[in-house]
Amino acid sequence: MYMNELMCIKVSNCRISRLKKFFQKDINYKYSDEFIKNSKRLILGNIPPEIIRMFNQDKANKIKIFQDALAQTAFIIRGTHKKLKHYNIINNSIEELEPAELNTIETNISNFFNIRIKDIMPKGYIANFEFSGKGAFANVFKFSLKNECDEKIMHDKALKVFHNIDCPLDSLKDTQNLFAEANFWEFIKKAAGHNLSKTQLTKHYMSDLKSGFIMTEFCDSTICQTKFPLNLVKIFKVVSSDLQQNALISDKIYDVGGFRKLPDFINDKVTLRYYKKLKNQKSVVDLEILIARIKLLINNPKTPHREKIRKALELFLSD
């Protein structure tokens, strides 16, 4: 009845109020970039909790100042890289600079950031940015925060500053660059059902889709070890086309650009929840008990989402 009205909706003009939910549901969207840019909230996640805990009063405002400082720093990092390339001072990466020059850039970036957070941080706290690496899509800096006694107040973080907000290649935008990576982080966190620290993926903190950066845990020998790896292929049905190129650091996957869903990808949260439960059973006995329980649920007409649960069992049994 409303088909004509529906046909008139131009998806790219829609404003998504809950971008996070949109990202949690699925990956590899071939949306128009405008769709995302029109979203009401372009920051997903938040700055690390160790920093938030330092703000006793006026928390929301201080978080905003900290996020803004990161956004402006990302802008400076992107601009510095572009300018050095534009003037042919570097061909590809700021790594080509003399160590002293690179050091000056890192100091300038750190000073720029410290001035912006000065009023909200306890006295003597200093942040430091150190260049970590460059890829086709981004520059990554190690971000450290020390207190007045020169002690780190948290494990270092990685600030991934994308060279461009939009994916430079249209054909790659469903898997690569800022939006696809931010999408993947939200999806996998939700699908896993817990934070990622003990998995083979590095922990994700925030994605700023307006300023073009993503903050994750910095991978080094002191990062939280992988104890419960996610079975990305067999349970979550996603595979990375990029993994061969990116060597893991301390066994962690840090670059989620390139992840693609497999044909049997489950894009319903109830089905995935039950499928995961079935897959995660350690013993045959436990599995049999679970299957019996699930069959009871499916046969009870009062069970909400019966069809979705049935689907999970069907998928599991057909594996």
Q: Tokens at residue 250, please?
A: 């301390």
Using CB distances below 5 to 8 A depending on partner kind, what does residue 159 bind out of ligand ATP, Mg ion, none? none
Nearer to ligand ATP by Cβ, of 22 and 135: the residue is 135
Cβ count near 47 (within 10 Å): 20
Min. distance of Cβ 181 from ligand ATP in angstroms?
8
Min. distance of Cβ 259 from Mg ion in angstroms?
10
- Which of 236, 255, 261, 272 is the binder for ligand ATP (CB under 6 A)? 255
- Which of 92, 103, 195, 245 is the binder for ligand ATP (CB under 6 A)? 245
Q: Cα(229)–Cα(225) distance, rounded to whole angstroms?
A: 10
| 240 sits near Mg ion (criterion: CB under 5 A) | no
Using CB distances below 5 to 8 A depending on partner kind, what does residue 160 bind out of Mg ion, ligand ATP, none? ligand ATP
Segment holding 143, helix H or strand E: strand 138-146
Nearer to Mg ion by Cβ, of 212 and 257: the residue is 257
Q: Tokens at residue 118, please?
A: 């000065």
Q: Cα(309)–Cα(212) distance, rounded to whole angstroms?
A: 39
Q: Which of residues 130-159 bind ligand ATP (CB under 6 A)?
A: 132-138, 140, 158
Using CB distances below 5 to 8 A depending on partner kind, what does residue 120 bind out of ligand ATP, Mg ion, none? none
Contact 98, 105 (CB under 8 A): no
Give exposure, 254-293, as e/b (b: 16+ Cβ within 10 Å): bbbbbbbbeeeebebebbbbbbbebbeeeeeeebeebeee
Q: The sheet that has 157-162: what strands, in order across it?
A: 43-45, 204-208, 213-217, 157-162, 138-146, 126-134
Min. distance of Cβ 45 from ligand ATP in angstroms?
15
| 257 sits near Mg ion (criterion: CB under 5 A) | yes
Contact 166, 158 (CB under 8 A): no
Using CB distances below 5 to 8 A depending on partner kind, what does residue 138 bind out of Mg ion, ligand ATP, none? ligand ATP
Q: What is the largest CA-CA distance in the chain?
A: 71
Min. distance of Cβ 138 from Mg ion in angstroms?
7
Min. distance of Cβ 136 from ligand ATP in angstroms?
3
Q: Cα(163)–Cα(81) distance, rounded to whole angstroms?
A: 8
- Which of 255, 298, 310, 311 is the binder for Mg ion (CB under 5 A)? 255
Interface mask toward Mg ion for 259-298; x: CB under 5 A: ----------------------------------------
Q: Which of 129, 78, 76 is nearest to 102 (CA)?
A: 129
Using CB distances below 5 to 8 A depending on partner kind, what does residue 216 bind out of ligand ATP, Mg ion, none? ligand ATP
Q: Which of residues 280-319 bind ligand ATP (CB under 6 A)?
A: none
Q: Cα(47)–Cα(118) distance, rounded to whole angstroms?
A: 17
State the residues that interact with Mg ion by CB under 5 A.
Answer: 255, 257
State the residues that interact with ligand ATP by CB under 6 A.
Answer: 132-138, 140, 158, 160, 202, 216, 218-219, 242, 245-246, 249, 254-255, 257
